[in-house]
Amino acid sequence: LALAASYNLPQRLAARQATRERDENLRPLAHHREQELARMHRNFYGFDPSYHVARHHFVHKVPHAWTPRHLALHR
């Protein structure tokens, strides 16, 4: 609500739009998408099984073998 009532909202929106256009000219959004899809492909079909192990543990509600030290302050 405070942002909508701001006296300089049009200027802020124009600056944001200019920044977005500049970023899009430097590296189009499609390029970011292609990079992300390439990373996802490596996770799903690459040699590192950690994604599949983590997914299996999440889906089957497998508890962690130990509690991280920053959470187990009593140890």
Residue 36 forms part of a structural domain: yes
> Does residue 74 form part of some domain?
no
- Asked if the model's pLDDT at residue 8 lies above 80, the reply is yes
State the pLDDT at residue 45. 95
The residue ranking higher by pLDDT, 70 or 36, is: 36
Higher-pLDDT residue of 4, 17: 17
Q: What pLDDT was estimated at residue 64? A: 81
Each residue of 20-34: pLDDT tens digit?
999 999 999 999 999
Name residues whose C-beta falls within 8 Å of residue 69's C-beta, 6 or more positions apart in sequence.
Answer: 75
Are the beta carbons of 9 and 3 closer than 8 angstroms?
A: yes
Pairwise CA distance, residues 9 & 15, whole Å: 10
Question: Does the structure show a pLDDT above 80 at 1?
Answer: no
3 within a domain of the structure (yes/no)? no
The parent domain of residue 41 ranges over 8-60
Residue 71 lies inside a defined structural domain of this protein: no
2 occurs within a structural domain:
no
The domain tally of the chain equals: 1
Q: Which pLDDT score is estimated for 66? A: 84
